[in-house]
Amino acid sequence: MGNLASYFAYPFVRYALIVGVLIALCSSLLGVILVLKRFSYIGDGLSHVAFGAMAIAAVVGLSDRMILTLPITIVCAILLLRTGQNTRIKGDAAIAMISVGALAAGYLLMNIFNSSPNISGDVCTTLFGSMKILTLTKSEVILSLVLSIVVVILFIAFYNRFFAVTFDENFAKAVGTKTYLLNLLIATVIAVIIVLAMNLVGSLLVSALVIFPALSAMRIFKSFRSVTIFSACLSVFCALLGIILSILWGTPVGSTIVVTDIAAFALCAIIGKIKG
């Protein structure tokens, strides 16, 4: 334990802890909606889109890649979530298509234009986050802090409407709820979280953070409110535990958090079975 305390003397450890927890909180809140809307894989899809957009930004030579990455990802999120009953390509296929396509195109662009001396290193960073979370700057921490607060406030403010739209979009639309705007809002928030999170922790972790806490909570709890609250708490707890374990054992941060989430899911599944 004394060992751990000495680690916390380093600001980069504290930053990693703060940002990791914030991203875990935000993605788990939206994760409940995404899993229920059958969009579990959107985190993965969008992060690949963001990767492709980053490749374009690098080729074009933009210094601030976020300018290009964020809008492209938001547009793709809106397109993906806009699926109704009459779309030609169903939600899961659309995500798979965009995800694989963007990844391939991005990698191809990077190779052709050879913008960076270490391409496979870049790709690895994007997918697994590798060490990025341990090299965060103070401004990045503040940015994620502000955005997380915005996301949490939005979620609480629109909680009732989000529930209505997720449970039954047709009914919501019929009684005059502006479902189109709500879906737009959900898509935008998701895109922002994913772009941010991908930069900080990698796309592998983003998907896991979206899916696992929500699914774990659904094993045990029986109301939307309790599922949401528990999923947020569990996600924060797993992120904390994962980061601490990765520091103590010297393991990669992202994958340690994911493994912690898997363990929590297994535990919840067992508890759910016992409770009946």
> What does the binding site for another protein look like in residue numbers (CB under 8 A)?
36-38, 86, 157-161, 163-164, 166-168, 170-177, 217-218, 221-225, 227
Nearest-angstrom CA–CA distance, 83 and 94: 9
Q: Judged by CB, which is closer to another protein: 113, or 163?
A: 163
Dihedral over alpha carbons 144, 149, 151, 153 (to 10 degrees):
180
Q: Judged by CB, which is closer to another protein: 12, or 224?
A: 224
Minimum distance, C-beta of residue 257 to another protein, in the bound complex (Å): 24
Quote the longest CA-to-CA distance of the chain: 60
Minimum distance, C-beta of residue 97 to another protein, in the bound complex (Å): 21
Q: Judged by CB, which is closer to another protein: 21, or 164?
A: 164
Minimum distance, C-beta of residue 160 to another protein, in the bound complex (Å): 6
Q: Judged by CB, which is closer to another protein: 153, or 248?
A: 153
Q: Which of 80, 93, 103, 75 is nearest to 188 (CA)?
A: 75
Minimum distance, C-beta of residue 224 to another protein, in the bound complex (Å): 4
Minimum distance, C-beta of residue 146 to another protein, in the bound complex (Å): 21
Q: Judged by CB, which is closer to another protein: 130, or 228?
A: 228
Minimum distance, C-beta of residue 110 to another protein, in the bound complex (Å): 38
Strand, helix or coil at 157?
A: helix
Q: Judged by CB, which is closer to another protein: 111, or 170?
A: 170
Nearest-angstrom CA–CA distance, 242 and 77: 28
Contact 197, 129 (CB under 8 A): no
Minimum distance, C-beta of residue 241 to another protein, in the bound complex (Å): 24
Q: How many helices (H) and strands (E) does the chain have?
A: 13, 0
Residues with Cβ within 8 Å of 233's Cβ and at least 6 positions away in sequence, in order, are none
DSSP of 112-165: HHT-SS-HHHHHHHHHH-TTGGGG--HHHHHHHHHHHHHHHHHHHHTHHHHHHH
DSSP of 245-262: HHHHHT--HHHHHHHHHH
Strand, helix or coil at 38?
A: coil
Q: Judged by CB, which is closer to another protein: 12, or 159?
A: 159
